[in-house]
Amino acid sequence: GNSVTQMEGPVTLSEEAFLTINCTYTATGYPSLFWYVQYPGEGLQLLLKATKADDKGSNKGFEATYRKETTSFHLEKGSVQVSDSAVYFCALSEAGNQFYFGTGTSLTVIP
């Protein structure tokens, strides 16, 4: 079956630090991969996505590369800001019918 495993949090970083949030997946076919972000008290927003192997999704300084050989889609940002504090969810979809989400990783960035 399909599933997503992401690193447990919470993660606390100082401003301008480097961020990595690990995500690995299990899928029966060729899924699309996503990172969603949830700010306090709000719904989720799509941060970035990749639809095939070796694709790199990027947005707002965040990047993630679809690695089929390691079944991974790790989220990275070179220099985090206080405004990046949120919960980050890795997700996959096969043919867009159902979406499978990881448990979420809480990030707090301190000044």
Q: Does the footprint of another protein cover residue 98 (CB under 8 A)?
A: yes
List 73, 102, 107, 109, residue binding another protein (CB under 8 A): 102
List 43, 69, 70, 111, residue binding another protein (CB under 8 A): 43
Q: Please say which residue, 73 or 89, places its beta carbon nearer to another protein.
A: 89
Q: Which residues contact 58 (CB under 8 A, 6 or more apart)?
A: 48, 64
Q: Please report the DSSP string for 43-86 in residue order.
A: -EEEEEEE-STT-EEEETTEEEE-BTTTTB--EEESS--GGG-E
List 1, 29, 41, 111, residue binding another protein (CB under 8 A): 41
- Min dist CB 24 to another protein, Å, is 14
Place of tokens 């100082």: 14
Rounded CA-CA distance 11/85 in Å is 10
Q: Please say which residue, 19 or 36, places its beta carbon nearer to another protein.
A: 36
Place of tokens 């800001």: 81
Report the interface residues with another protein, using CB under 8 A.
4, 32, 34, 36, 41-46, 49, 51, 89, 93, 95-96, 98-99, 101-104
